[in-house]
Each structure stands twice: as C-alpha cells, then as structure tokens.
Amino acid sequence: IENEYGNVEYGNVMFVYGDDGKAYIDWCAKMAESFNIGVPWIMCQQPDAPQPMTKYIK
C-alpha cells in the first residue's frame, strides 16, 4: 500500500498481510474495473497483480 507514509515493506501487500492482503488487492482491482473508464489500470510494485490489472515493477 503506497500512501503518504511510504510503501509497505517490499511493496508487496500480500507478502506483509498474507491472505487478507490478497483479498484486499483483489477487492481494489474489482473496484477499479467497476468504474468502466476504458483505460488500463496499473498496480505499481505488485508482482502478482490480479487480471486485468497491469503489474509494474520499477
């Protein structure tokens, strides 16, 4: 989770929060897609972003 406090350790929510982190990332992806804005969504620093999110690792 990236916010004004910085990134979660290793930038991987699922690594830090386990199954709850995976559920949160899946929820975020579904919510983003529900907006139907027609542009690709990118999850920065999430190596196993759920489809249809595009993963981006710096």
Domain spans of the chain? 9-56
Note the pTM of the prediction, 2 decimals.
0.58
| Residue 41 and residue 54 in contact, taking contact as beta carbons nearer than 8 Å | yes
Within 13 Å of residue 39, how many CA atoms lie on the same side as its CB? 3
pLDDT of residue 9 exceeding 60 = no
How confident is the model over 10-27, as pLDDT tens digits?
Answer: 555 556 677 887 788 888
Enter the tokens of residue 6: 């910085």
Task: Report the C-alpha dihedral over residues 40, 50, 20, 13, rounded to 10 degrees.
Answer: -70
pLDDT tens for 22-56 read: 788 888 888 888 999 888 877 766 666 677 676 66
